[in-house]
Structure 1
Amino acid sequence: MKKLRLVFMGTPSFAVPILNALLDSEDEVVAVVTQPDKPAGRGKKLTPPPVKVLALERGVPVLQPQKIKDEKFLTELRSLNPDVIVVAAYGKILPSEVLTIPRYVCINVHASLLPKFRGAAPINWAIIAGEKETGITIMQMDEGMDTGDILLMESLPISPEDTAGTLHDKLSALGAKLIVRALNLLKEGRLTPQKQPEEGVSYAPMLKKEDGLLDFSRPAKELANLIRGLDPWPTAYAYFRGKLVKFFAPSFEKKDAKASPGEILGLENGKLLVATGEGILKIGELQVEGKKRIKAEEFVRGYRPKPGENFTSYP
């Protein structure tokens, strides 16, 4: 089969290595579809999404429809005559009007081992749930939320030190490798759809800042997973002396402390020890509101927490 005409749909940094791989492949990316520019930063300056930045650097036409069902956009998309539409973290569920446009298929690069963690934040939720592995699923798209047939899948271990940020980068790189492999298999007639299993379905809804509020009555292991899963956004936090404090670089031990949940137990091997409902939470780095992120030793030196002083879930 001759080289494929591709339209790529994606928006955030996760999609950038995947688009890069397609641009470097033997196939042709004829256009990129991405979300509209949005205000960002303190000055609320209109900022293009990362995928648009790369597309413009590589000289690829960019489409940014406000509405995916806009007739002008659909007409423009049809006029491109794509063989395949490749989607990676575009940000919206595609309607049938888009799914039926390509000659062959709409393919999605999803950052979980489907049917686990369907939805917007699979990387975060895999860590929060304490999973030992995750991966990339290359999926044939339908009108459901990540319900289409599986075309290709590869797993990846989650290390105890992984955060959503580090796992994001690993999965993005894996997705870039797998999508090129999938398109080559398609051209060879060897890409075989398989129905997703009906058992084991779980969901990964979009995260909100409030999801990061720590409840120290929960087990230390769960809190450590939550902190890692919300790093770098929206971050896990609690309060100390009325100020919001963000937590990073956690670990835990199972032995219980004879202390109330949230109580600061002191410093050990560079980690701040905090009592929880079950086990001890160990924190390597903290960030007090309005200040820079610092090591636990610096926090103890600067704030000198008193014996019995607590982190709380309220200001």
Structure 2
Amino acid sequence: MPDNKPIRIYYLASGRLGIPILGRLRSDPRLILTGVGSQPDRPAGRRQRYVPTPLAAHGDALGLLVDRVPSVNTPDFLEKMRHLQVEMVVVVSFGQLLKPELLALPPFGCLNVHASMLPRFRGAAPINMAILWGDTTTGVTFMDMEAGLDTGGIYEQFSLEIQSNDNAEQLEQRLGALAAKHIGNVIWDIAREDLKPKPQPTEGVSIARKIKKEAGAIVWNNSAKLLERMVRAFTPWPRLSTLAPIGKGPCKRLQLTDVSAFDMTLALHAHPGEVIAQGRDGLLVACGEGLLHIRRVIPEGRAEMSAAEFLRGNPLPPGTILSDYPVGEK
């Protein structure tokens, strides 16, 4: 007779990608969610207050007990998995390396949900890189975890079109919803229908390394099309920043949050970073190639606003130079 008993799972996740998946894991009657673990709370901001991960904050708000796990490879955590009789560990944007002893512990292994169509963009920042490189499609991969970096066999993949205005935050939400839609069926097929992983293709491998804060430092000599993709790829973090003459004193940071690129020759003889026009529609700035139309910004020390609202108090007349943001600046 087929085994139709619910599958006992433990969920490890930290990022926003895992939030919709958590909801589906809780609601699917074929699954028993034995526990949820996330990275420990960490100090953040000027006051260095301890802040939970997005997944942990969401779980706390739901009244769930979310384990803060300094390391999943300790004897205590492994014993916890044995005590809970976990049949599968599901891992989504978690942030720790699972060592062989844990990978081998659950009868149905450790299932990773990765936000790309592997083997493209293995690593920590697949969503950002898909936007930055101008991909038109991406997706989610359900992968059998092994010791390598996102090298395990593939159970299932589901694709998604990248919209022309998607930023990393928006695309992450849509990918999370896509993964949530399929997570229950994939787990069931592995544990009860004997679904086997297939090796990843050897061609098309690329790495999406962890984003550093310095990635948001603008270089106006780049093309407008690249800068437009950078704004979307680095929203909500680290955001693309320039230096602008705001008020008195030295130039201050101006973060760009909504822009579009124009492939025009109007700025053929303009200096990269030079303001071509300002007004109700925002700022038009020359780049190495083309023009960047800036619609929304975050001035240093202030909240996000439209470029038109910013310009009412901080006019930047044509000929004003916006400077490259120095790498290493806060």
TM-score normalised by length of structure 2: 0.90
Amino acid at match of 1:304: P
Q: Which residue pairs with 2:293 in the alignment?
A: 282
Counterpart pick for 1:250 among 253, 259, 273: 259
Q: Which residue pairs with 1:233 in the alignment?
A: 237
Q: Does 1:128 align with 2:137?
A: no
Change (3 A) 1:41 1:294: same
List alignment gaps of at least 5 residues for structure 1.
none
Percent identical residues: 37
Change (3 A) 1:216 1:4: same
Q: What whole-Å deviation, never above 9, does each CA across 1:97-137 have from its counterpart, x for those lacking one?
A: 11001011210011111111111111111111111111111
Q: Which residue pairs with 2:20 in the alignment?
A: 17
Equivalent-residue separation in structure 2 for 1:52 and 1:286 (angstroms)? 29
Q: What whole-Å deviation, never above 9, does each CA across 1:259-304 have from its counterpart, x for those lacking one?
A: 1111111137714211111111111111210122221222332222
Q: Does 1:3 align with 2:12?
A: no
Change (3 A) 1:216 1:183: same
1:314 deviates by 4.4
Q: Does 1:207 align with 2:208?
A: no
Equivalent-residue separation in structure 2 for 1:7 and 1:161 (angstroms)? 35
1:30-179 pair list within 5 angstroms:
30-55=34-59, 62-179=66-183
CA contact (8 A) 1:14 1:172 kept: yes
CA contact (8 A) 1:32 1:61 kept: yes
1:215-230 pair list within 5 angstroms:
215-230=219-234
Q: What whole-Å deviation, never above 9, does each CA across 1:182-202 have from its counterpart, x for those lacking one?
A: 013224415231111111111
Task: State how many pairs are aligned.
Answer: 315
CA contact (8 A) 1:30 1:60 kept: no
Change (3 A) 1:298 1:50: closer
Q: Which residue pairs with 1:272 in the alignment?
A: 283
Change (3 A) 1:220 1:33: same
Q: Does 1:294 align with 2:297?
A: no
Amino acid at match of 1:305: L
Secondary structure of the structure 1 residue equivalent to 2:208: coil
Amino acid at match of 1:11: S
Equivalent-residue separation in structure 2 for 1:275 and 1:30 (angstroms)? 55
Secondary structure of the structure 2 residue equivalent to 1:13: coil
Amino acid at match of 1:97: E
Amino acid at match of 2:308: E
Q: Which residue pairs with 1:310 in the alignment?
A: 321
1:51 deviates by 3.0
CA contact (8 A) 1:11 1:49 kept: yes
TM-score normalised by length of structure 1: 0.94
List alignment gaps of at least 5 residues for structure 2.
246-250
1:69 deviates by 2.2
CA contact (8 A) 1:29 1:60 kept: no
1:181 deviates by 2.0
1:82 deviates by 1.3
Equivalent-residue separation in structure 2 for 1:287 and 1:168 (angstroms)? 22
Amino acid at match of 2:187: L
Change (3 A) 1:267 1:22: same
C-alpha root-mean-square deviation of aligned residues, in Å?
1.9
CA contact (8 A) 2:73 2:99 kept: yes
CA contact (8 A) 1:152 1:178 kept: no
Q: What whole-Å deviation, never above 9, does each CA across 1:35-82 have from its counterpart, x for those lacking one?
A: 112224444333333433454566655433322322122222222221
Change (3 A) 1:168 1:245: same
Amino acid at match of 1:15: G
Amino acid at match of 1:254: D
